[in-house]
Amino acid sequence: MRIEVLGADDTHESPTVAAIGAIHGDEPCGVRAIERFLATGLQDRLQRPIKLIIANERALAASSRYVEVDLNRSFPGDAESDLYEERLAHRLWSEIKGCVTLGFHSTVSFDSPFGTFADPTFLKSRIMRALPIEHAADFSAVAQGRSVNLPRFVNVEAGYQQSEAAAETAYECLLAYLRAMGALPDSANQTPTMHYLVQTVIEKSEKQDYTIRAENFQRVAPREVYATTDQGQMLTADKEFWPVLMSADGHDVLLGYQSDQLGEISQTIPE
């Protein structure tokens, strides 16, 4: 794990703002955003100390999601575990315990950036509105032991894995986040963001090939076919939903999630 503490002055005040790249080793966008930030000289403009972390360096070097077990599902971790990522989760959590934290990810499901979080607070809503994203997926109902379940922690899915666009978006998100947290002097640009409550997992069979017939964050109507398979199966909506992280080849047994669109996040999570 690589940790850069920036903007600290003589008071030795420890950072309470953090950002993390390479929670997953095959999603380098956050690492590229952090390295670009370090190369720009913007750190001289910091108004409060920040901590930039490159979490899973071993998985990053191998360009794989993880080495032994998914870091993002290993929180709060275990210092004594035999598994590398469980020990890493413990160390990472102790680094960010006192911080507001933004984690960077990328997906195989959707090229536009979106936020993920759980356990809504006004702080999380404010970060979602400050980031250049239109959609925020709330995993409160389905996620446990993930980074989004940590207090004061939010993620951004910056775009397609390994893409230039994801690296560019991650950098824009890092700057927007640092402005929102008062770490960079420019004022934060708050824009509308839709809040989706993720409700149900959509399972898939490993024996079939799927074609997705719907778009993530676009309403699927009751009785609409949202996916088909090579064996002629049609997946039909029981009731309306908005797909989240839906992709034919992102996961062995998970096609994606059904969510409800709750409304604009400043309305659904008021101050």
String of contacts with Zn ion for each residue 167-206, x by CB under 5 A = ----------------------------------------
> Does the footprint of Zn ion cover residue 51 (CB under 5 A)?
no
Residue 33 CB: number of other CB atoms within 10 A? 26
| Residues touching Zn ion, count (CB under 5 A) | 3
Closest to Zn ion by CB, 136 vs 269, is 136
Amino acid at 191: T
Instruction: Provide the 8-state DSSP code for 261.
Output: E
String of contacts with Zn ion for each residue 2-41, x by CB under 5 A = ----------------------x--x--------------
Closest to Zn ion by CB, 47 vs 64, is 64
Closest to Zn ion by CB, 29 vs 194, is 29
- Three-state DSSP state, 96: helix
Kindly state the smallest distance separating residue 87's Cβ from Zn ion, in Å.
19
| Distances 19 to 28, 89, 193, 214, 219 between C-alpha atoms, Å | 14, 15, 21, 32, 32
Kindly state the smallest distance separating residue 27's Cβ from Zn ion, in Å.
5
Kindly state the smallest distance separating residue 107's Cβ from Zn ion, in Å.
7
- Three-state DSSP state, 268: helix
Kindly state the smallest distance separating residue 185's Cβ from Zn ion, in Å.
31
Residue number, nearest CB to Zn ion: 105
Torsion of CA 105, 107, 113, 114, to 10 degrees: -80
Please identify which residue in 32, 90, 105, 152 interacts with Zn ion, judged by CB under 5 A. Answer: 105
Q: In which element (H, E) is residue 200 found? A: strand 194-203
Kindly state the smallest distance separating residue 7's Cβ from Zn ion, in Å.
27
Kindly state the smallest distance separating residue 57's Cβ from Zn ion, in Å.
15
What proportions of the chain, in percent to the nearest 5, are helix, strand and coil? 25, 30, 45
**Interface of this chain with Zn ion, residues 71 to 100, rule: CB under 5 A:** none
Kindly state the smallest distance separating residue 70's Cβ from Zn ion, in Å.
9
Closest to Zn ion by CB, 1 vs 262, is 1
Helix spans in the chain (H): 29-40, 57-62, 84-96, 122-130, 164-180, 265-268
Contact 196, 137 (CB under 8 A): yes
Question: By the criterion CB under 5 A, which residues form the site for Zn ion?
Answer: 24, 27, 105
